[in-house]
Amino acid sequence: MSQPSLESVVRSAGEWLRGVGPQHEIVISTRIRLARNITGFPFHSRASDEQRSEIAETLSTALGRCGLPGEWLHIDIEKLDDLDRLLLVERHLISKSLAEANGARRVVFERSEACSVMINEEDHLRLQVLRSGLQLDEAWEQINAMDDALDAQVEYAFHPQFGYLTACPTNVGTGIRVSVMLHLPALRLTGELEKVLQAARDMKLAVRGLFGEGTEALGDFFQVSNQVTLGRSETELLDSFRTDVLPRIVEFEQSARKALLRSRPQALDDKIWRAVGMLRNARMMSSNEALQCLSHVRMGLHIGRPLRIDLQTINELFLQTQPAHLQKLQGERLSGEQRSVARAALTRARLGSNQN
Amino acid sequence: MSQPSLESVVRSAGEWLRGVGPQHEIVISTRIRLARNITGFPFHSRASDEQRSEIAETLSTALGRCGLPGEWLHIDIEKLDDLDRLLLVERHLISKSLAEANGARRVVFERSEACSVMINEEDHLRLQVLRSGLQLDEAWEQINAMDDALDAQVEYAFHPQFGYLTACPTNVGTGIRVSVMLHLPALRLTGELEKVLQAARDMKLAVRGLFGEGTEALGDFFQVSNQVTLGRSETELLDSFRTDVLPRIVEFEQSARKALLRSRPQALDDKIWRAVGMLRNARMMSSNEALQCLSHVRMGLHIGRPLRIDLQTINELFLQTQPAHLQKLQGERLSGEQRSVARAALTRARLGSNQN
């Protein structure tokens, strides 16, 4: 398998941060993933090195054959250096655990980055569709088509009573996880965030940070996803997101933004303009601070503040200020302090520092 | 006594923050005060209301008669509202305790604010000369002349063995206090500040904050002054400041600035430019944050950073961002939150926010 170059992907914001799509002011992206395994092999954790290689080869070949539309890149994770692996994590194309694992493992993704497949993660297959904004139906339609196309090439491990068999029991059944990435800066500012997130948890939803499982909520981004996969059809799950979960959270955030604008416009503007000031003036900046500042600027743009900043630039910077993207852009490996300096230089350059 | 208006003083930086004079990059100002009492009256704390009024009248009249050069303003503190009193404290023309006391008390000062006399503070008289930069000899010459001129009009309480008698034993003898206001941002950044201040304390010097006794060290400003007044001539005291105390502290700060520029220029520039960014972008700002930001900008100007900001403006803002000055400039009383908004608007207006 010839390895395609990742250089070309670095400069774009990818799909999940394109900043378009319905309700994108609050719903950053919609993601659906399906966990699948194939018959004839043990689950990943119990497979031998040889079996893992065979699984990777089999599934990569099957994906190549199933005629999915678009240009698909097949990446052998084993052959990547740590920086390229981290790059794929930052773009939400692979999970941290796939990046950090050992042995034969791959990611196959369509160039737009809307569709991707992880091979030899926890399950043999993790199909993912990522759409900017709130696009539950479109994402479902797309992943369903991928699933069907692949099903024609391989034999899925399926049990008539339990449904799709998965390595972890929490995924058995439909193997589906629906996640929406939400941007909730106003709820953080009004102090109501924890209340809202707790309500989500009470609805049996998991709340995670920007980079998935085990990561902190950075820059006011929260990933909300289902935890139950058994005994509930995909349609029921999507319905609950569409009619219940999302309208409620989105409305909370909208109300918080309105309340801030009405009662404490100066406090809100202060956050926004300080973020602009930092991004345009700092000489050193951590990736967390960059995320937080970009988050406030993003909100400022969405409530119509005349920041003379382009939303597209902000969305790109969300990714480009991340460690791997930053180093790829600079074309060299950088220490933590060097990254901090390079990151501040990047935001100044992109956002038009007025004086150097 | 007709009360002159304080309106005209609000807009200037006064003497102590003029930002000129020898070594003004580090030595903000030199201050000498003399504590004096007059015979025929008990010390202030033991004087009756009538006696205090009589003292005030006597000394105000004596000051008017002694032919000191310049235009002198006689201010009856009792007749001022709390805002005007605070204004005088912020300008270092009176002490906090004089502002907050009760009964007959005055301040008489020359319009340039370099010379002032508090009447009925802890002592009947507190003569003060304040000079921008390091001007020990000039300040001493000037206060000595004031002292002589006043001595010709009134009879000082003086004991052949102990010297000038004062309300508090710590001032007995010469009644002199020499203070220098130092700006030590680099020592703070390198973490060496406490070591240097401890060395000053070991030399029997008192280290105080921006607004004297009992105030915090804000914006990296420190007031260093003698504590001993007995058994040491004024000349000896001035000599120790000139040859020992000041060269050492100034050199420490200079070395720290050089070390930062050499080894961590980005960290130094980061502080400076973030301060610029905050002053030009924030929509709400506390007076402490304003002081800290102005402090870093001041250092930036002194190490030659191209900030396109005028030092005079920074010096004026040190005062104008203080609560009383801010309210006088706005022409109305403001709540804490309103001051915070007005302060940020003022720094944006003065420092050229690029976008509104």
- Candidate from A276, A283, A341 with C-beta closest to B281: A276
User: Which residue numbers of B have CB closer than 8 Å to A's CBs?
Assistant: 266-267, 269-270, 273-274, 276-278, 280-284, 306-308, 337, 341, 344, 354-355
pLDDT of residue B3: 78
> Distance between terminal CA atoms of chain B?
47
- Candidate from B269, B270, B283 with C-beta closest to A270: B283
Task: Return d(Cα B43, Cα B41) in angstroms, integer.
Answer: 7
Widest pairwise Cα distance in chain A: 67
Instruction: From chain A, pick out residues whose CB is under 8 angstroms from the CB of B273.
Output: 281-283
Task: Return d(Cα A294, Cα B124) in angstroms, integer.
Answer: 59
Task: Return d(Cα A317, Cα A303) in angstroms, integer.
Answer: 19
Residue A168: is its pLDDT beyond 70? yes
The whole-number average pLDDT for the span A204-226 is 78
Q: Do A278 and B274 count as a contact with CB atoms less than 8 A apart? A: yes
What pTM did the predictor assign?
A: 0.87
- Candidate from B266, B280, B283 with C-beta closest to A283: B266
Strand (E) or helix (H) holding B127:
strand B125-132
The structure tokens 């678009």 sit at A70
A171-182: pLDDT as tens digits: 888 999 999 999
- By CA distance, what is B340's nearest residue in A? A266
pLDDT of residue B16: 67
Question: What 3 state SS string does A28-66 have?
Answer: EEEEEEEEECECCCCCHHHCCHHHHHHHHHHHHHHHHHC
Contacts of B144 (CB under 8 A, 6+ apart): none
B23-49: pLDDT as tens digits: 888 998 999 999 999 999 999 999 999
Q: Do A284 and B307 count as a contact with CB atoms less than 8 A apart? A: no
Distance, in angstroms, between B272 CA and closest chain A CA? 9
pLDDT of residue B217: 63
B96-121: pLDDT as tens digits: 999 999 999 999 999 989 999 999 99
The whole-chain average pLDDT of chain A stands at 90
Distance, in angstroms, between A270 CA and closest chain B CA? 4
Task: Return d(Cα A103, Cα A52) in angstroms, integer.
Answer: 7
pLDDT of residue B49: 96
Contacts of A109 (CB under 8 A, 6+ apart): A72, A73, A75, A93, A115, A116, A117
The whole-number average pLDDT for the span B271-299 is 95
Instruction: From chain A, pick out residues whose CB is under 8 angstroms from the CB of B283.
Output: 266-267, 269-270, 273-274
The whole-number average pLDDT for the span A184-206 is 89
Task: Return d(Cα B205, Cα B195) in angstroms, integer.
Answer: 14
Per-residue pLDDT band at A7 (split at 50, 70, 90)? confident
Task: Return d(Cα B323, Cα B339) in angstroms, integer.
Answer: 7
A105-137: pLDDT as tens digits: 999 999 989 999 999 999 999 999 999 999 999
Strand (E) or helix (H) holding A181:
strand A176-183
Distance (Å) of CA A306 to CA A67, A309, B214, B280, B354:
46, 8, 44, 15, 12
- Candidate from A266, A267, A283 with C-beta closest to B270: A283
Residue B18: is its pLDDT beyond 50? yes
Q: Do B274 and A282 count as a contact with CB atoms less than 8 A apart? A: yes
Task: Return d(Cα B190, Cα B176) in angstroms, integer.
Answer: 34
Contacts of B44 (CB under 8 A, 6+ apart): B52, B55, B120, B121, B122, B123, B124, B167
Query: How many other C-beta atoms are found inside a 10 Å radius of the C-beta of residue A39?
Result: 11
- ipTM, interface predicted TM-score of the complex: 0.85
Contacts of A79 (CB under 8 A, 6+ apart): A3
Instruction: From chain A, pick out residues whose CB is under 8 angstroms from the CB of B269.
Output: 283
**Residue from B264, B274, B335 whose CB has the most chain A CBs within 10 Å, to mutate:** B274
- By CA distance, what is A283's nearest residue in B? B270
| A7 vs B354: which has the higher pLDDT | A7
Residue A355: is its pLDDT beyond 50? no
Residue B264: is its pLDDT beyond 60? yes
Contacts of A80 (CB under 8 A, 6+ apart): A6, A88
Task: Return d(Cα B16, Cα B134) in angstroms, integer.
Answer: 11
- By CA distance, what is A341's nearest residue in B? B266
Q: Do B281 and A277 count as a contact with CB atoms less than 8 A apart? A: yes
Task: Return d(Cα B245, Cα B226) in angstroms, integer.
Answer: 10
Per-residue pLDDT band at A212 (split at 50, 70, 90)? low
Distance, in angstroms, between A346 CA and closest chain B CA? 14
Instruction: From chain B, pick out residues whose CB is under 8 angstroms from the CB of A269.
Output: 283
B176-188: pLDDT as tens digits: 999 999 999 999 8
B120-163: pLDDT as tens digits: 999 999 999 999 999 999 999 999 999 999 999 999 999 999 89
Residue A62: is its pLDDT beyond 80? yes
Q: Which long-range contacts (CB under 8 A, 24 or more apart) does A4-7 make?
A: A4/A73, A4/A74, A4/A75, A6/A75, A6/A80, A6/A84, A6/A87, A6/A88, A6/A328, A7/A328
Instruction: From chain B, pick out residues whose CB is under 8 angstroms from the CB of A280.
Output: 277
- Candidate from A266, A274, A284 with C-beta closest to B278: A274
Per-residue pLDDT band at B229 (split at 50, 70, 90)? confident
- Amino acid present at A44: H
A135-161: pLDDT as tens digits: 999 999 999 999 999 999 999 999 999
Instruction: From chain B, pick out residues whose CB is under 8 angstroms from the CB of A189.
Output: none
**Residue from B270, B286, B296, B308 whose CB has the most chain A CBs within 10 Å, to mutate:** B270
Q: Do A270 and B344 count as a contact with CB atoms less than 8 A apart? A: yes
- What is the percent of chain A with per-residue pLDDT over 90, rounded to a whole number? 70
Q: Give one DSSP letter per residue of B137-188, joined into a string.
A: HHHHHHHHHHHHHHHTTS-B-EETTTEE--SSGGGTBT-EEEEEEEE-HHHH
B301-348: pLDDT as tens digits: 999 999 999 988 998 899 999 999 999 999 999 999 999 999 999 999
The whole-number average pLDDT for the span B72-80 is 95
- What is the percent of chain B with per-residue pLDDT over 70, rounded to a whole number? 94
Rounded (5°) CA angle A285-A289-A290 = 75
The whole-number average pLDDT for the span A166-174 is 89
Of A201-205, A230-234, B246-250, the range with the lowest mean pLDDT is A230-234
Task: Return d(Cα A267, Cα B283) in angstroms, integer.
Answer: 7
| A103 vs A232: which has the higher pLDDT | A103
- By CA distance, what is A340's nearest residue in B? B266
pLDDT of residue A356: 35
Task: Return d(Cα A220, Cα A217) in angstroms, integer.
Answer: 6
Enter the DSSP assignment of A182: E
pLDDT of residue B21: 79
Contacts of B252 (CB under 8 A, 6+ apart): B187, B192, B196
The whole-chain average pLDDT of chain B stands at 90
Instruction: From chain A, pick out residues whose CB is under 8 angstroms from the CB of B277.
Output: 274, 277-278, 280-282
The whole-number average pLDDT for the span A226-255 is 89
Rounded (5°) CA angle A120-A126-A131 = 140
- By CA distance, what is B284's nearest residue in A? A270
Token reading at B141 = 């010459």
Per-residue pLDDT band at A217 (split at 50, 70, 90)? low
Distance, in angstroms, between A334 CA and closest chain B CA? 15
Q: At what angle do helices B336-351 and B323-330 cross, to 10 degrees?
A: 80
pLDDT of residue A63: 96
pLDDT of residue B356: 35
- What is the percent of chain B with per-residue pLDDT over 90, rounded to a whole number? 70
pLDDT of residue A81: 94
Question: Nearest-CA neighbor of B303 among B3, B26, B12, B72?
Answer: B26
pLDDT of residue A282: 97
B154-199: pLDDT as tens digits: 999 999 998 999 999 888 889 999 999 999 999 988 989 989 888 8
